[in-house]
Structures are given as structure tokens and as C-alpha cells.
Amino acid sequence: MGTAASAAGAAVTESVFVRIPALAARHGAVNLAQGVFDHGPEEALLSALAGVGGGPEHQYAPSPGHPALRAALARHIHRHDGVTVDPDGEVTVTVGATEALHCAITALVRSGDEVILVEPAYEQYAPAVRSAGGTTRALRLSSAGERVTAEALEALVTPATRAIVVNSPWNPLGRGLDPDEWRAVADLAARHGVVVVSDETYEHLNLDGAPHHGVLEAVHDPELRVKVSSVSKTFAATGWRIGWAVAGPELTRRIRAVHQFLTFCPSTPMQLATATVLDAPDTPAMLERRARELGERVGGFAAELCDVGLSATAPDCGFFVLADVGEDAERWCDRMIVDAGVAALPMSVFYSEPVAEMVSVVRFAACKRPETLAEAIRRLRSFPA
């Protein structure tokens, strides 16, 4: 038994989003490593939460999600993605996008199946595939300018390919998939019956105000697509832990089969407050304002990084700023946490194998108050290169 326990222990790896924030806290470093806000949430969330009554609102919701939230999500999706989905049969409410992704991937993947990941890829995807007994095949992009092509995807397909995971807008590349890339992904799905799991957690953070284009628009067969999103980034509320998966009825049945035994349902008061916010008439204007303000802050931070001497680019979407630090990024990040008091992430954590063009690139999460970003810049400026 001791052997089994230690063997299991040996297989455990710690998420960078567990390890680095803890290290940052230990060294009193400004945490720009993790996409977590140091402000917010939007006032509308607080008043919606205060408006939740007492009584059944504090008991389990139905496992697929509170009917009020599923209905509000269907309306929101209709307005935002231009697609009609059935709140009863096609929407499942989960504990953040994290649980939605886990349920979708483990509902789909069986032992021996393969899943295509497009790297740089969010840390959670590969472990979810492996926990279901699957293996991953990576399409690796070496810059935000490089594109996902039909040929590159086709080269990765085998008879065992079950799904592809895409992330649009893309953490950490800071752009969405363009129409040609969506076409390549949709063709792959149609030709090979590969299911597209689309992580759209940053869908409301198009900093230039451009409309969002997601999987519901690109892939027409509901059984070949899963849209995943959440309130975390949309409303600066990563601690609410409300997310959702939208898929065709058969896929939804399988997703719910995993979800019922994993968490059963997320917090009911948070579900009800989310429904109120999604339905509020001024929410679309609030989302536009948020994206605009965030864009100004993120753009300003990228400019300050350039001024410090790091070659940084502002993203089109989301809040991650990529900067070339001109040396090994892993060493630079280790040094900066301890010596300068600034935590950031090396891009290598988003790749399963090293990519030469990214070895010296660092990701900064700029979803912070202006004074936090200013303090990080002050520390970086005073640190001798």
C-alpha cells in the first residue's frame, strides 16, 4: 500500500497557478503570473448577489444548472453568438470553465483516444485528456502571428483522433482565431467527426471592440462542438466559480453524466445572481466599457514594459502581455520573483516541448489596478539588468 501511495504521489505535478502565486506571496512579489484580478467585481454582481432571497435559493440547484440561469444563458448566447440553444437540453452550468472543460474532455475521451491541442495551450487541457486515458498531439505555434492551417491539422489526425481543444480568444497569445483558422477547425470536425472543444473564457475581452466569433458560429453540427465559458474574466469574478458548457443534446447528456458525480452543481446563490446580471439591460454596455478600460490599462502597461527595455506587445484580446526579456525566460522569472519582487510566467509552461522562438518570452497578467501595474514597473525599472 505504501508503494502504491508513493507511486501515485510521484505522478502528481503541481499547477503553475498553485506554485507561482504561493512563491510570489512568500517573496512579497507583485503577482503578474496569474490571471486573477486585484479589484472588482463589477458592482452589478454585488447588487445581484445582495438581491438573492433566503430559502430554496440556498439549497442544491438541479444538477444541470438552475433553470433561471440556463434560460438567461440561452438568451445571452442568442444575443452574443447569434445562435439559438435549448436551455434544457444543451446548457450545463459548472464550477467555472475549469469544470466545464474537465467534464467535456472526460465525457468525450476514452482510453486510447487522441486529442489535438494547439500550443501554447492552457495548462489544464493535457492533464484532463490524460486523466481520461487519452493522449495528446500538439500543433505548436511559435508566435501570435503564426496561423493554424488545415494542412497542419490534417497532419495530426489519425483514426484515434476524438477531439481538438481550441482557445479563442487565446490565453496567452492575445488574439482570437481568425476566419480562416475557424474554417480549418470546422472542416476538420466535419471531415473526421472530431469534436471541437472551444474554450471561450475571454470571449468578452476583445479590447478593440471587435465582435466575438466562436465555435457556435463556426461549427454547425451541435454534436461536434462544445462551447465553454464562465463569469471569471467577463465580470472580474474568478472567485464566483460559475461556468458553463454548451453542446448538442447527446453530448450534453454525457457532460452532465460526469458533472453530476463531480460537483453536482455550483453554488445556487451565485447561479441566481449570475442570471440576474446576464439579463440586466445595461450589461452589454457594461461589458463594452470593461473591455475598453482594460484595453487602455493593458496597452499602457505594454508601453511601460517597452520603456523599461523589454520588447513587449499589447494583445488584441484578454489581458496577457507577452514580452521578450532577451534571456532564458524561466531563469529570468525565477530571478525576478526573488530579487525584484515581480512574478510573471515563462511561455515554456504553455508548451509540451521547447519552442526556440518562445524561450526568452514571458507572460505578464495585466488585469490589475493601475497602482499595482505601476509598482511592478517601478520594481522592474530599479532592478539592474
Nearer to ligand PMP, 129 or 380 (CB): 129
Contact yes or no for 198/162 (Cβ under 8 A): no
365 touches, from ligand PMP, ligand GLN, none (C-beta below 5 to 8 Å by class): ligand GLN
* Residue whose Cβ sits closest to ligand PMP: 96
34 touches, from ligand GLN, ligand PMP, none (C-beta below 5 to 8 Å by class): ligand GLN
Q: Which stretch binds ligand PMP (CB under 6 A): 227-235, 246-254, 286-294, 334-342?
A: 227-235
If one asks whether residue 42 binds ligand PMP (CB under 6 A), the answer comes out as no
Q: Cis omega (within 30 of 0) on the bond before 346?
A: no
Q: Which residues contact 365 (CB under 8 A, 6 or more apart)?
A: 31, 32, 33, 34, 35, 36, 319, 320, 344, 345
96 touches, from ligand GLN, ligand PMP, none (C-beta below 5 to 8 Å by class): ligand PMP
Contact yes or no for 235/72 (Cβ under 8 A): no
| 268-279 vs 67-81: helix crossing angle, rounded to 10 | 40
Give the C-alpha separation, 70 to 64, whole Å: 8
Nearer to ligand GLN, 70 or 368 (CB): 368
155: which 3 cell numbers?
497532419
**x-or-dash string of contact with ligand PMP, 197-216, rule CB under 6 A:** --x-x---------------
Contacts to ligand PMP from residues 144-173, by CB under 6 A: 167, 171
Nearer to ligand PMP, 242 or 377 (CB): 242
Contact yes or no for 200/291 (Cβ under 8 A): no
Nearer to ligand GLN, 33 or 107 (CB): 33
- Least separation in angstroms between residue 117's CB and ligand PMP is 12
Give the C-alpha separation, 372 to 381, whole Å: 14
- Least separation in angstroms between residue 17's CB and ligand PMP is 8
If one asks whether residue 230 binds ligand PMP (CB under 6 A), the answer comes out as yes
Nearer to ligand PMP, 95 or 189 (CB): 95
H or E element, residue 285: helix 283-308
- Least separation in angstroms between residue 342's CB and ligand GLN is 15
**DSSP conformation letters of 222-249:** GGGEEEEEESTTTTT-TTT--EEEEE-H
- Least separation in angstroms between residue 354's CB and ligand GLN is 20
Residue 126's closest CA among 233, 8, 16? 16
Q: What is the CA radius of gyration of the chain?
A: 21
Interface residue with ligand PMP, options 232, 234, 268, 274 (CB under 6 A)? 232
- Least separation in angstroms between residue 168's CB and ligand PMP is 10
- Least separation in angstroms between residue 201's CB and ligand GLN is 7
Q: Which stretch binds ligand PMP (CB under 6 A): 214-222, 228-236, 274-282, 294-302?
A: 228-236
Q: What are phi and psi of 79, to 5 degrees?
A: -65, -40
Contact yes or no for 226/195 (Cβ under 8 A): yes
Number of residues that bind ligand PMP (CB under 6 A): 14
303: which 3 cell numbers?
508601453
- Least separation in angstroms between residue 248's CB and ligand PMP is 21
- Least separation in angstroms between residue 329's CB and ligand PMP is 19
If one asks whether residue 96 binds ligand PMP (CB under 6 A), the answer comes out as yes
For CA atoms 347, 349, 355, 356, give the dihedral sign: positive
119: which 3 cell numbers?
500550443
Footprint of ligand GLN (CB under 6 A): 17, 34-36, 171, 365
Nearer to ligand PMP, 122 or 332 (CB): 122
Burial of residue 217, with CB atoms counted within 10 A of its CB: 0-12 exposed, 13-18 middle, 19 or more buried: middle
Q: What residues line the site for ligand PMP (CB under 6 A)?
A: 35, 96-98, 122, 167, 171, 199, 201, 230, 232-233, 238, 243
